[in-house]
C-alpha cells in the first residue's frame, strides 16, 4: 500500500525531514579549509550547529549573515558581505560555502549578485573560492541540500580536462567511519580516486595540541577541480533527482559516465559496488574483500534463527530506506512499513521490486510522513523492530518497540560518528547489533533466564 500525507495537515510533528542547509553544511564540512555561512537568521545556524554537534560530538562553527527585521524587508546583501569579510579575517579559508535559508529565499535575495558585487568591490584582495548553494527547506530537506552542494562545487570548480585513470565517488550522508570504510575498499582496488565530500576527519578528528579554527581534512579544491578528469563517477544515490545530481551534471557537461549505486548496506548492494569497481579498474575483487563477503554470508546463516520473519518499520531518507529494506529482506526479516519525509516516487517501484524478489507483500510505503504520522500507522501493527534515527525514540518508547538507531541525527546515543554500516564489514556490524537486540529481548522476557552457565 502506498500512502502519502493526507492534506491538509496544518502542522508537522517531529519531522522526518531536516533542514536543507543542514545537509549543505555537512557537505561543506567535507571540503578542505572551508568555512560555511548560512545566509539567514542566527537561529537557523544555531539549530544546524546544535544537531551536528550532538551527532558528531565535535566543535562545529557555522557563520551566519545574521538577518534582522530590516534585512528581512530590504535584503541581506550588506550583512552577507560583512559576514564574508569577518570569515576571511578570522578563519582565512580557501573556500567559503554559502547556503541560503528559507527566509532569504522567501524574500528573493539575489545572492549571486551580492557575490559578484563583493568580488568586484574587493579585486585587490586574494579572495577564497565562494560557492553558493540554494537551499530553501520548503523545497527539499537535508538530503537534497547535501547533493545540491556537491553539484554546486563541481559546477563552480570543474572545467574540461584530459581524462585520467581515476574515478570520483560522490557519497551520501553516511558516518565518518563509513567514509573510512569506503576509502579502505577503494584503496584495496589500488586505483586512483577522489571521494567527496570527505568529512571523515573534519567531523571525527582526533584530539589536538592546539585549537584549529577549521579542522584539518576534507576534499581539497585541487581534487574537486580534477573531478572532470575522472574516467567514471560513482554516485551513492538511486533516489536522486537528476536536477541536483553532481554525477548527471558531469555526464551532461563532460560526458563522464555516472554509475548510480545504492548505499552499500547488505550483500547485494555491496556486490553492486564491487562489480562497478571491477569494471572501472579492470581487476577482480581483492582477496581481503572476498574474505569479508564470505564471513558475512556465514553470519547471515548464523543469524537466521534469531531474526527470521521479524517485522520491521524503516524510517529514513529515501536512499537509506531502500538500502535498509534490501538488507532486511536479505536476512529473512520483513520490511512491513517503509517511511520517509521526502516525496521519493522512485522508492515505490524499487521497494516493490524487492518485495517481489523475496516473495512477501509490498510494504506499506509512506512518503512525505512525519514521525507523528508514522506512529499512527504503527499503532496496532505487529512490528518487532523500528529502524530509524534518534527522532524515532519517543515513538518507540510509547509503542514499547525496540529501536535500532541509524542515519542522522543520532543524538541520544554515543558514537554516531564511529557507527559502521556499509560494505561487507559494516553490514556484519549492523547485523550483530540487530541479532544482539533480539537476544537481549529474549533474555529480558524469559522468566527462567536465557543464558549459558
Ligand atoms: S527556517 Fe528554514 S533554514 Fe532556518 S532552520 Fe528552519 S528549515 Fe532551516
**Ligand 1 test: best mutation among 47, 99, 107, most atoms within 8 Å of CB?**
47
Whether residues 432 and 302 fall in one domain: yes
Rounded to an integer, the average pLDDT of 199-221 is 95
- Position 6 scores a pLDDT of 56
CA–centroid distance, 12 to ligand 1, in Å, is 14
Beta-sheet pairing, 364-367 with 2-4: parallel
On whether the CB atoms of residues 384 and 311 are closer than 8 A, the answer is yes
- Position 447 scores a pLDDT of 83
The model's confidence at residue 337, banded by pLDDT at 50, 70 and 90, is very high
- Position 390 scores a pLDDT of 97
Give the CATH number of the domain where residue 99 resides: 3.40.50.1980
What's the total number of domains in the chain? 3
CA–centroid distance, 135 to ligand 1, in Å, is 9
Q: 74 versus 96: which is more confidently predicted?
A: 96
- Position 403 scores a pLDDT of 98
Going 29 to 34 to 39 to 42, the CA torsion angle's sign is positive
Enumerate helices (H) and strands (E) in the chain, giving the number of each.
17, 14
User: Is residue 271 a part of any domain in this protein?
Assistant: yes
Quick one: cell of 310?
A: 521479524
Which residues have a Cβ under 8 Å from the Cβ of 451 and sit 6 or more positions away?
Answer: 443
Whether residues 130 and 38 fall in one domain: yes
pLDDT at 357 over 70: yes
**Ligand 1 test: best mutation among 18, 45, 102, most atoms within 8 Å of CB?**
102
Report angle CA 426, 308, 418 to the nearest 5 degrees: 20
Which residues have a Cβ under 8 Å from the Cβ of 448 and sit 6 or more positions away?
Answer: none
The model's confidence at residue 453, banded by pLDDT at 50, 70 and 90, is low
Whether residues 190 and 273 fall in one domain: yes
Question: Would the pTM count as exceeding 0.75?
Answer: yes
Whether residues 312 and 270 fall in one domain: no
Domain edge (last residue) among 281, 303, 338: 281
User: Is residue 12 a part of any domain in this protein?
Assistant: no
User: Is residue 452 a part of any domain in this protein?
Assistant: no
Residue 315: phi and psi, rounded to 5, are -130, 135
Q: Is the CB of 66 under 6 A from ligand 1?
A: no
Residue 220 vs residues 175, 195, 367, 369: alpha-carbon distances, Å: 19, 10, 36, 37
Whether residues 309 and 346 fall in one domain: yes
**Ligand 1 test: best mutation among 44, 72, 146, most atoms within 8 Å of CB?**
44
CA–centroid distance, 38 to ligand 1, in Å, is 10
Whether residues 322 and 415 fall in one domain: yes
For the chain, what is the radius of gyration of the CA atoms? 22
Whether residues 428 and 293 fall in one domain: yes
Whether residues 67 and 108 fall in one domain: yes
On whether the CB atoms of residues 41 and 67 are closer than 8 A, the answer is yes
Q: 451 versus 348: which is more confidently predicted?
A: 348
Residue nearest to atom 5 of ligand 1 (CA): 44
Whether residues 205 and 122 fall in one domain: no
Residue in 305, 304, 301, 389 with CA at minimum distance from that of residue 340: 389
The model's confidence at residue 12, banded by pLDDT at 50, 70 and 90, is confident
Q: Is the CB of 76 under 6 A from ligand 1?
A: no
Whether residues 239 and 121 fall in one domain: no
CA–centroid distance, 52 to ligand 1, in Å, is 14
**Please, what is the average pLDDT of the chain?**
94
User: Is residue 154 a part of any domain in this protein?
Assistant: no
The model's confidence at residue 3, banded by pLDDT at 50, 70 and 90, is low
CA–centroid distance, 137 to ligand 1, in Å, is 6
Whether residues 226 and 353 fall in one domain: no
Q: Is the CB of 410 under 6 A from ligand 1?
A: no
Rounded to an integer, the average pLDDT of 220-244 is 97
- Position 184 scores a pLDDT of 98
The model's confidence at residue 2, banded by pLDDT at 50, 70 and 90, is low
Q: Is the CB of 21 under 6 A from ligand 1?
A: yes
User: Is residue 241 a part of any domain in this protein?
Assistant: yes
Rounded to an integer, the average pLDDT of 423-431 is 98
Residue nearest to atom 8 of ligand 1 (CA): 19
CA–centroid distance, 20 to ligand 1, in Å, is 8
Domain edge (last residue) among 281, 305, 320: 281
pLDDT at 249 over 70: yes
The model's confidence at residue 19, banded by pLDDT at 50, 70 and 90, is very high
Domain edge (last residue) among 143, 177, 200: 143
User: Is residue 2 a part of any domain in this protein?
Assistant: no
> Cα(110)–Cα(115) distance, rounded to whole angstroms?
9
**Ligand 1 test: best mutation among 24, 40, 138, most atoms within 8 Å of CB?**
40
- Position 13 scores a pLDDT of 87
Q: Is the CB of 104 under 6 A from ligand 1?
A: no
- Position 413 scores a pLDDT of 96
CA–centroid distance, 299 to ligand 1, in Å, is 43
Which residues have a Cβ under 8 Å from the Cβ of 190 and sit 6 or more positions away?
Answer: 281, 283, 286
> Cα(267)–Cα(248) distance, rounded to whole angstroms?
26
Q: Is the CB of 71 under 6 A from ligand 1?
A: no
Q: Is the CB of 137 under 6 A from ligand 1?
A: yes
User: Is residue 155 a part of any domain in this protein?
Assistant: no
CA–centroid distance, 165 to ligand 1, in Å, is 41
Digit-coded pLDDT (tens) for 282-321: 999 999 999 999 999 999 999 999 999 999 999 999 999 9
CA–centroid distance, 259 to ligand 1, in Å, is 32
DSSP state letters, 288-329: HHHHHHHHHHHHHHHHHHHHTT-EEEEES-HHHHHHHHHHHH
User: Is residue 202 a part of any domain in this protein?
Assistant: yes
Residue nearest to atom 3 of ligand 1 (CA): 101
Atom of ligand 1 nearest to the CA of 48: 5
On whether the CB atoms of residues 327 and 406 are closer than 8 A, the answer is no
Q: Of all residues in the chain, what percent carry a pLDDT higher than 90?
A: 86
Rounded to an integer, the average pLDDT of 36-61 is 96
pLDDT at 395 over 80: yes
The model's confidence at residue 408, banded by pLDDT at 50, 70 and 90, is very high
* Partners of 392 in the β-ladder: none
On whether the CB atoms of residues 172 and 319 are closer than 8 A, the answer is yes
Whether residues 209 and 239 fall in one domain: yes
The residue segments making up the domain with residue 353 are 287-445
Q: Is the CB of 101 under 6 A from ligand 1?
A: yes
The model's confidence at residue 351, banded by pLDDT at 50, 70 and 90, is very high
Amino acid at each position: 500500500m502506498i500512502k502519502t500525507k493526507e492534506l491538509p495537515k496544518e502542522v508537522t510533528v517531529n519531522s522526518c525531514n531536516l533542514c536543507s542547509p543542514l545537509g549543505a553544511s555537512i557537505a561543506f564540512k567535507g571540503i578542505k579549509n572551508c568555512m560555511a555561512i548560512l545566509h539567514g537568521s542566527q537561529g537557523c545556524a544555531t539549530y544546524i550547529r546544535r544537531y551536528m554537534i550532538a551527532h558528531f560530538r565535535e566543535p562545529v562553527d557555522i557563520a551566519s549573515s545574521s538577518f534582522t527585521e530590516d534585512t528581512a524587508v530590504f535584503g541581506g546583501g550588506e550583512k552577507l558581505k560583512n559576514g564574508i569579510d569577518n570569515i576571511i579575517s578570522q578563519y582565512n579559508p580557501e573556500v567559503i560555502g554559502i547556503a541560503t535559508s528559507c527566509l532569504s529565499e522567501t524574500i528573493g535575495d539575489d545572492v549571486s549578485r551580492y557575490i559578484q558585487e563583493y568580488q568586484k568591490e574587493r579585486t585587490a584582495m586574494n579572495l577564497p573560492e565562494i560557492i553558493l548553494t540554494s537551499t530553501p527547506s520548503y523545497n527539499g530537506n537535508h538530503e537534497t541540500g547535501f547533493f545540491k552542494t556537491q553539484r554546486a562545487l563541481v559546477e563552480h570548480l570543474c572545467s574540461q580536462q584530459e581524462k585520467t585513470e581515476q574515478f570520483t565517488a560522490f557519497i551520501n550522508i553516511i558516518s565518518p567511519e563509513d567514509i573510512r570504510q569506503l576509502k579502505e575498499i577503494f584503496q584495496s582496488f589500488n586505483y586512483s580516486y577522489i571521494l567527496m565530500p570527505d568529512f571523515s576527519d573534519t567531523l571525527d578528528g582526533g584530539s589536538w595540541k592546539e585549537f584549529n579554527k577549521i579542522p584539518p581534512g576534507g576534499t581539497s579544491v585541487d581534487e574537486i577541480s580534477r573531478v572532470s578528469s575522472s574516467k567514471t563517477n560513482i554516485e551513492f544515490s538511486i533516489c536522486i533527482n537528476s536536477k541536483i545530481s553532481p554525477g548527471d551534471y558531469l555526464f551532461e557537461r563532460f560526458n563522464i559516465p555516472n554509475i548510480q549505486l545504492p548505499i552499500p548496506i547488505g550483500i547485494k548492494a555491496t556486490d553492486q559496488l564491487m562489480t562497478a569497481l571491477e569494471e572501472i579498474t579492470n581487476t577482480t575483487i581483492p582477496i581481503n574483500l572476498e574474505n569479508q563477503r564470505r564471513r558475512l554470508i556465514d553470519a547471515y546463516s548464523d543469524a537466521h534463527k534469531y531474526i527470521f520473519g521479524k517485522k520491521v518499520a524503516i524510517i529514513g531518507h529515501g536512499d537509506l530506506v531502500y538500502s535498509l529494506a534490501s538488507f532486511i529482506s536479505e536476512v529473512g526479516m520483513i520490511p512491513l512499513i517503509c517511511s520517509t519525509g521526502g516525496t521519493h516516487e522512485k522508492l515505490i517501484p524499487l521497494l516493490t521490486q524487492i518485495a517481489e524478489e523475496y516473495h512477501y507483500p509490498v510494504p506499506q510505503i509512506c512518503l512525505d510522513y512525519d514521525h507523528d504520522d508514522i506512529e499512527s500507522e504503527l499503532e496496532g501493527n505487529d512490528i518487532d523492530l523500528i529502524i530509524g534515527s534518534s527522532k524515532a525514540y519517543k515513538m518507540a518508547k510509547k509503542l514499547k518497540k525496540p529501536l535500532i538507531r541509524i542515519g542522522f541525527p543520532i543524538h541520544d546515543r554515543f558514537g554516531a560518528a564511529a557507527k559502521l554500516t556499509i560494505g561487507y564489514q559494516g553490514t556484519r556490524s549492523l547485523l550483530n547489533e540487530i541479532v544482539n537486540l533480539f537476544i537481549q529481548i529474549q533474555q529480558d522476557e524469559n522468566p527462567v533466564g536465557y543464558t549459558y552457565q
